Amino acid sequence: MRKWIAVLALAALLVCALAPGVSFTEDRDTVLLARAIYALARNESYDTKLAIGTVAMNRLDNVWFADTLGGVLNEQHQFPIGSRYDDESLSAAHAVLSGRRALSADALYYQSLSASRPRTDKPLAVVGSYAFYS
């Protein structure tokens, strides 16, 4: 019996060593951000997913918004948070949580280009089907 347990443990370690990107758990903030990214940009490019994540992190770093990622993402009518995410959304969440940014630090707002009442000010950037604003 001990032999089988040792073999299984060794196999698990081998899988982790050969596939370092694989993890069995993710922290709450990473999953929450991945779910928000997926809810907004599931059919968008990876760059768009990074841009959405960047807005969330820019808000976290800004004194006018909540001081936790959960607070930023759960603010009413700001970021929809679904119950699912995919590998690309999770990868984008990891990237922005690790410091990667797709937009400047003053990009604090986003709007779909197909919004029924579009903003009249000029966006900082347009990525995919979203415009980003300061």
pLDDT at 88 over 70: yes
Instruction: Judge whether 127 and 102 are in contact, CB under 8 Å.
Output: yes
Is 17's pLDDT higher than 90?
Answer: no
Q: How far apart are CA 33 and CA 36, in angstroms?
A: 5
- pLDDT reported for residue 26: 83
Distance CA(3)–CA(22), nearest Å, equals: 26
Residue 47 has pLDDT above 60, yes or no: yes
pLDDT grade for 9, boundaries at 50, 70 and 90: low
Fold of 26-102: Arc Repressor Mutant, subunit A (1.10.10)
Task: Label residues 116-126 b or e (16+ Cβ within 10 Å = b).
Answer: eeeeeeebbee
Cα(97)–Cα(116) distance, integer angstroms? 31
Q: Bigger pLDDT: 20 or 55?
A: 55
Q: So where are the chain's domains?
A: 26-102
| Alpha carbon distance 89, 91 (integer Å) | 5
pLDDT value at 21 more than 50: no
- In this predicted structure, what is the pLDDT of residue 5? 55
- Evaluate if pTM is beyond 0.85: no
User: Does the pLDDT at position 39 exceed 50?
Assistant: yes
Percent of the chain with pLDDT over 70: 81
